[in-house]
Every structure is written in structure tokens, then in C-alpha cells.
Amino acid sequence: MAQAARICFTLGVTADDLALKQCGAIVWLMAQDHEWYTGEAMEGVWFETREDSAAHQGALDVVPYGRYEALAVSRLATGRLDPPDICLIYGTPGQMILLINGL
């Protein structure tokens, strides 16, 4: 995502390109299995407790695993993905607050 956002690359991504299951499962390229839903991998990293981590995982909206084999990532302004299936807003916390306040 960062390469598309920062240096304007258009990339194809498969599960083999992603380092962590969290990265792959959230974009439907890896299974959202029991292990993923326990939140164990994020305990002590992004969340203090496993319960908080599991609650986060359970609250996510995800596409069921197996529907897609890859995804394409590009800046919207390039017009390379026309029309895109989804739009991910990628920004710093400050940028996101400004966007949310403007809604």
C-alpha cells in the first residue's frame, strides 16, 4: 500500500508477497481461521490483552477467504484501475481526523 501511496506504483499482490497473516487475512488473501480470530499474534503488539485483540479481529469487515487470489493496488488519481472495486483511504492520524471531521 505504501508503495502505491507514496511513490505512485501500481502493484499486483498475492499472499506470497505479504509478511504476516494479519496483512493477508484482512485483504482476503489468507484464511481468517480460528488462530486469526483469537488475536494471539497482536497481543502485546497492537493490543494489551488477547481479549482486546480478539475483539478487534471479530469486529473487522472482511471478504471471505478464497474469493480472490490477488489484488491490484494503485493511486486513484492515476486512473490505472478503472473503475476500482474499492477505495482505501491511506493517511496519517492527523490527515484521517481532518477527513473524518469534514464528513
- pLDDT tens column, 46-88: 899 999 999 999 998 888 888 889 999 999 899 999 898 888 8
Query: C-alpha grid cell for residue 36?
Result: 486469526
Which amino acid, one-letter code, is at 51?
E
* Pairing of the two strands 11-13 and 71-73: antiparallel
Task: Supply the pLDDT for residue 90.
Answer: 79
Query: C-alpha grid cell for residue 12?
Result: 499486483
pTM strictly above 0.85:
no
As for how many domains the chain has, the answer is 1
Neighbour count for residue 58 (Cβ, 10 Å): 10
Domain limits at 92?
A: 2-102
Query: C-alpha grid cell for residue 43?
Result: 497481543
